[in-house]
Amino acid sequence: MHIKLIIFLVLFGVVASSSSLDWLKFKRNHNKHYKSAAEEAKRKQIFLENVNRIHDYERTHPNATFKLGINHLADRRIEELVSSSKRHFELHSENIGNSLESMNLPDSLDWRTKGVISLVRNEGVIGDVDAIVAVEVIETLYAIQTGNLVAGSVARVIDCCPKESDVFECIAKLRGICRADDYPSTTGQCQPDKCKPFTNFNKVMRLKDQNENTMETWIQNSSLFIGIDASQMSFEFYISGIYTDKSCSKTTVDHAMQLVGYGKTDSGDLYWICKNSWGSGWGEKGYIRVLRGQNTCGIATYVAQVA
C-alpha cells in the first residue's frame, strides 16, 4: 500500500508539473497578463479544463474532418465569446427575398484572392460582432465596385447603433460607414458627425428559405453576412479542416461572420470560407471552412447581403 501511495504521488506530481508548464508556455506564447492573482487562478483553471476537453473530444471523435488545438482563447469559456451576440439575428430576420437563379456557377470562389477583404479583426468587446461583420461586408462591396479597399470604422457603428436595433438599418440612417482612421475608437457616445461616410449601400437582401444554393449565387456578387451557432467548444478551438459538429443548432445562431467564398476538398467535401473576428491566431489565420450543403450550425439561418 505504501508503494502504491508513493507511485500515485509521483505520477500526480508529474501531471501537476506538466500542467503548470503548459500554463506558463501558454501565457508566454500569447503574452497573457492578468489584473490579479485571483483572476490568473481563474483563468488557469479554465485553461486546464479546456485542455482536457480538447483531448476528450479528439479521443471520442477520431474521424473528425477538422483539428482542434490550444489558441489564445484557451483561458476563456465559449460563453464569454458568443453569449451576448444574439441581439440582431433573432429580432430582425425579415424575409426580403431571393433575386438570382443558380446556374453555371464556378466550382470555387474566394474573394480574398481579389484584394477586397480587409484584415482579420479581433472582436475584443463582447456583442460587437454584428457591427464588425456589417462593416466588413460594406467594405467589400465598396472594394468590388471601386477597386479600392478601405477599412471602415466599426467604432462608429458600435457607438451609434443601439443593441436592440438592426445594424444595417442603423448604418443606413447614419448614411453609411466612415473610414476607420476618421473614427478609430469607441467613446461610449454617438458622434455621427465626427466623420464623413465614404460609402453606403442601396439595399439589404435577406435569405428567406435557408437555401445554400441561393447563397452560392449571391456570393458571386459580393460577400455575405451570416449567423452561426458558435457555442460548441469545438468551434472555439478549431485549428484547421472542414468544420461540422452534430451538437450545434441548425435553427439558433449566436455569432456572426463574413462569408467570403466556397470550395471543395480533394476528397469531395464542400465547404464555405468564413472570416471570423477572433484575431488571426484563431483557426486558419482567422478563417474557418464550414461544411457546405447541410445548413451546418445554422449557417443558412440568417444570411444577408448588401448591394
What are the tens digits of pLDDT across the range 186-208? 999 999 999 999 999 999 999 99
Among 158, 166, 172, 224, which Cα is nearest to 203's? Answer: 172
Indicate if 35 and 7 belong to the same structural domain.
yes
Instruction: Compute the distance between CA of residue 162 and CA of residue 138 in angstroms, rounded to an integer.
Output: 19
Indicate if 174 and 45 belong to the same structural domain.
no
| Structural domain ending residue among the three candidates 18, 40, 63 | 63
Indicate if 180 and 297 belong to the same structural domain.
yes
Indicate if 92 and 222 belong to the same structural domain.
yes
Among 222, 237, 295, which Cα is nearest to 81's? Answer: 237
- 91-100: burial string, b at 16+ Cβ within 10 Å, e else: ebbeeeebee
pLDDT, mean of residues 156-173? 93
| Structural domain ending residue among the three candidates 10, 29, 63 | 63
Residue 91 has pLDDT above 50, yes or no: no
By mean pLDDT, which of 55-69, 75-89, 94-108 is the weakest? 94-108
Residue 47 and residue 256 in contact, taking contact as beta carbons nearer than 8 Å = no
Confidence of residue 94 (pLDDT cuts 50, 70, 90): very low
Side chain identity, residue 263: G
By mean pLDDT, which of 2-6, 110-114, 189-193 is the weakest? 2-6
Indicate if 210 and 228 belong to the same structural domain.
yes
pLDDT for 165 equals: 86
By residue range, what is the domain housing residue 34? Answer: 2-63
Indicate if 130 and 221 belong to the same structural domain.
yes
pLDDT for 82 equals: 82
Residue 126 has pLDDT above 50, yes or no: no
Is the model more confident about 194 or about 19? 194
Indicate if 51 and 147 belong to the same structural domain.
no
The 10s digit of each residue's pLDDT in 221-271 is 999 999 999 999 999 999 999 999 999 999 999 999 999 999 999 999 999
pLDDT for 191 equals: 95
pLDDT, mean of residues 63-90? 81
Write the CATH number for 72. Answer: 3.90.70.10
With H, G, I as helix, E, B as strand and everything else as coil, classify residue 178.
coil
Residue 161 and residue 170 in contact, taking contact as beta carbons nearer than 8 Å = yes
Residues pairing with 263 in the sheet: 271
- Count of domains forming the chain: 2
CB atoms within 10 A of CB 252: 16
pLDDT for 8 equals: 46
Q: Inter-axis angle of helices 37-60 and 2-29, to 10 degrees?
A: 110
Among 208, 203, 233, 240, which Cα is nearest to 221's? Answer: 203
Indicate if 73 and 206 belong to the same structural domain.
yes
Average pLDDT of the residues of the chain: 89
Among 91, 88, 23, which Cα is nearest to 52's? Answer: 23
pLDDT for 180 equals: 97
Among 212, 239, 206, 204, which Cα is nearest to 298's? Answer: 212
Confidence of residue 154 (pLDDT cuts 50, 70, 90): very high
| Structural domain ending residue among the three candidates 63, 80, 102 | 63
By mean pLDDT, which of 27-36, 119-128, 298-307 is the weakest? 119-128
The alpha helices in 206-294, defined as continuous H runs, are 212-218, 233-236
With H, G, I as helix, E, B as strand and everything else as coil, classify residue 142.
helix
In terms of C-beta density within 10 A (0-12 exposed, 13-18 middle, 19 or more buried), how is residue 66 classed? buried
Indicate if 31 and 72 belong to the same structural domain.
no
Indicate if 233 and 91 belong to the same structural domain.
yes
Q: Which three cell numbers stand for residue 27?
A: 501565457
Indicate if 106 and 58 belong to the same structural domain.
no
pLDDT for 102 equals: 55
Indicate if 128 and 243 belong to the same structural domain.
yes
